[in-house]
Structure 1
Amino acid sequence: MLKSISSNGCQVHFNEKSYEELNKHLNNQGYSKIFILVDENTHTNCLPVLLGKIEQVYDIEIIEIGAGEAHKQIETCTEVWKIISELGGDRKSLLINLGGGVVTDLGGFVGATYMRGIDFLNIPTTLLSMVDASVGGKTGVDLGPLKNQVGVILNPLMVLIDTEYLATLPPNELRSGLAEMLKHGLIYDEAYWNELKNLAQLTTNDLDELIHRSVVIKNEVVTEDPREYGLRKILNYGHTLGHAIESYFLQSGDKTTLLHGEAIAIGMIMETYLSSELLNFPKDKLDEIKATFLNYFEKVTITNEDMEAIIVLMKHDKKNAHGNVNFVLLEDISKPKLDITSNKELLINSLEYYKK
């Protein structure tokens, strides 16, 4: 059995232990009402599993939002707040967020702010949300195309990770989560990176231990720096360019929207190139990192014209200060360095390196 992880007072439980803890909690608390937030996918694929695990009869209401990053907006929150209010939600209500990162980020923000805060817990159902959104207490929504511009840091009561939900995911969603796991190796644990990069055929059976390791890594970082004043910034490796690429593809009508992990994979290749130019990151490892990501992720067409727009979007990145775009780069694998700036020419060169 995978050991539960304590994260700044929030317990992360795994598989069957999750439901034992959930039932114990529901039994003890006597909530006036339980709301379960789902999107259209988790409503069909995951909700029946969850409802089958709840042992007693409670007053439960299901709230469904649209699936995908396009719905991670304050307008969606307004709709959810209204529905909770109309259905009689009070301070003694519980919100269970059942879904990927969009549902847990948005649902966490709804729970943190409805009546100035009601109890909420997260059940991440995608690999990405299990290894990334599960710890650290980040909640929030996008502001138009700008990622995660509005939100608060507040831990849920608990996080329940059940890898059974991964069986409902298409392969591209599994790969999207793998990008964040590979990132954990690159910024923190070279042995973990080496283990992951050799996973030719990822099966859900391999994943339990690896997911647990990723959650441990992320938890060690966020426990030391809950508010992202220092160490926690290392989790943004690949995300300065990656988020801008993701936003650009999201708002461009003629582009296919990228999954978070697909965009971050491109960001990591390009930011590792910047690392080699600015911090002498070893060239052989740079090429190995590029090959590893391109082994899992198909190359995406990004033109130099696209890159101009992507550079503009980077100016909104939350790590920026005093007008500078700040990058997390690597001196070597597991040796990150914070707040490095780059000139435009190097950014264009990093795209050329990705493309060639």
Structure 2
Amino acid sequence: MNSIASGSYEVYLEELAEAAINQHIKVKDYSKVFVLVDENTKQHCLPKLQKIVGPVVDEILEIPSGEENKTIQTCTTVWRNLSDYGGDRQSLLINLGGGVLTDLGGFVASTFKRGIDFINIPTTLLSMVDASIGGKTGVDFGSLKNQIGVINQPQMVLIFPDMLKTLDARQITSGFAEMLKHGLIKSSEYWDSLKTVDDYTHADYIRKSIAIKNDVVMEDPTEKGIRKILNFGHTLGHAIESYFLKNPEKSALLHGEAIAIGMILEGYLSHELKGLSMLSLEDIKTTFLQHFEKVDFSEEDVKIIVDLLKHDKKNTHGNINFVLLQDIGAAILDVKVPTPLFEKAFAYYNQ
């Protein structure tokens, strides 16, 4: 099977992806076809796309890579480019890049002329298994992640695993964190298989992760309930990512690196509050530390990170809501965590 149905669109893999995009563009007869890239995907991935779709692309729009550029200011530049190059409501925007680019490109497309079609072609492991699936689009607001955005579905998502060959090992490992998360929240069997696999970039594992996320999203497209389980590790993880991104004395962490820490911390909270066994907690910590370098957190770091939690977009009525684990493969929604436990969670991580 090389496609996964997701409501109004499909996720296509490998050869079927090539056929799908060409058929779609032919049938829709777009007035203009734009491709959004960054400097990396322009060099490494755009030539492959141009080979697949031929001369139908009218304009290449480029933005700088990096989470620090996932801003309204960057959106303004792309909106202006679309307008200057004659984009109208019958135009198509193809987002060729990682999670930052597909998030931002999807938001740009969803708001330009009150909405134009877009297609996501994720080029990192992280975006293939997570960011490009499910219709979440948006940008950061200052140091706060994903504060501005909409949920809007693409026309299709196209997965070309061979594009991963252009990435360095750190980027690949960052994506692996989200794959491990899919096992933790939904499938202990998948978790166990990933722990021992040599090549998790194989199309079969990518497809499995996409299928797990897609099943959750299909059940709850607008994140009113079960879809929240996809946020495991992200409440503390996003706060850590934001802190390291904006602190000039810290080296920025990739998304998956911050979320891996978040999953260890939230695993500890799960043990304290929801009965996750110590054996499972140690399994989670050991697995992530085998793949991700340990980060040192001072008392001051922890204080600032915990303070950032109050801005998390999942909060309601002033409450910080966590997704925790009852067991590996069994997640629980909307858990309130007593503040003193945060310090204990970091102490567990640090020890």
Shared fold, TM over 0.5: yes
- CA distance in 2 between counterparts of 1:111 and 1:213 reads 28
Tell me the alpha carbon deviations over residues 300-345 of structure 1, each in whole angstroms, 9 at most, x when there is no partner.
Answer: 1111110111011110111111111111001111111111111222
From the superposition, tell whether residues 59 and 212 of structure 1 become closer, same or farther in structure 2 (CA, over 3 Å). closer
Letter in 2 for 1:14: L
Alignment equivalent of 1:202, drawn from 199, 203, 208: 199
Match of residue 326 from structure 2 = 331
> Corresponding residue for 1:120?
118
Which of these residues, 337, 341, 344, is aligned with residue 336 of structure 2? 341
Report deviation, 1:59: 4.7
1:62 is paired with a residue whose SS is strand
Paired with 2:145 and 2:130, the residues of 1 have a C-alpha distance of 15
Deviations 1:86-135 (A, max 9, x none): 01111111100000001100000000010001111000000000000122
Task: Using the TM superposition, give the Cα deviation of residue 45 of structure 1 relative to its aligned residue in structure 2, in angstroms.
Answer: 0.6
Task: Answer whether contact 1:176 1:262 (CA < 8 A) is retained.
Answer: yes
Q: CA deviation at 1:3?
A: 2.7
Distance 1:71 1:350 in 2: 31
Contact 2:176 2:200 in 1 (8 A): no
SS in 2 for 1:226: coil
2:316 corresponds to 1:321: yes
| 2:75 aligned with 1:53 | no
Q: CA deviation at 1:27?
A: 1.4
Give the equivalent residue in structure 1 for 2:79: 81
Report the counterpart of residue 39 of structure 1 in structure 2: 38
Letter of the structure 1 residue corresponding to residue 23 of structure 2: K
Query: For the residues of structure 2 that align with 1:203 and 1:225, how far apart are their CA atoms?
Result: 27
Corresponding residue for residue 245 of structure 1: 240
TM-score normalized with structure 2 length: 0.98
Tell me the SS of whatever aligns to 1:54.
helix
2:141–2:148 CA contact under 8 A, matched in 1: yes
Q: 1:343 to 1:59 in 2, by over 3 A?
A: closer
Provide the residue aligned with 2:293 in structure 1.
298
Q: Percent identity?
A: 56
Tell whether the 8 Å contact from 1:97 to 1:120 is kept in structure 2 after alignment.
yes
- Deviation per CA, 1:269-301: give whole Å up to 9, x if none: 000001001111100110111000000000011
Q: Give 3-state SS (helix, strand or coil) of 2:56's partner.
A: coil
Structure 1: 5+ residue stretches without partners: none
- Is residue 270 of structure 2 the alignment partner of residue 271 of structure 1? no
Q: Which segments of 5 or more consecutive residues in structure 2 lack a partner in the other structure?
A: none
Residue-pair matches, total: 351
The equivalent of 1:107 in structure 2 is 105
2:182 corresponds to which letter in structure 1? H
1:354 deviates by 0.5
TM superposition shift of 1:203:
6.0
Tell me, yes or no, if the aligned pair for 2:2 and 2:16 is still in contact at 8 Å.
no
SS class of match (1:315): helix
Structure 1 residue matching 2:312: 3-state secondary structure: coil
Q: Distance in 1 between matches of 2:229 and 2:28?
A: 37
Contact 1:134 1:215 survives alignment (8 Å): no
Residues 242 and 267, structure 1, Cα contact 8 Å, conserved in 2: yes
Within-5 A mapping of 1:150-161: 150-161=148-159
1:21 and 2:5 aligned:
no
Residue 286 of structure 1: which of 266, 281, 286 is its match? 281
CA distance in structure 2 between the aligned counterparts of 1:302 and 1:49, rounded to whole angstroms: 42
CA contact (8 A) 1:8 1:223 kept: yes
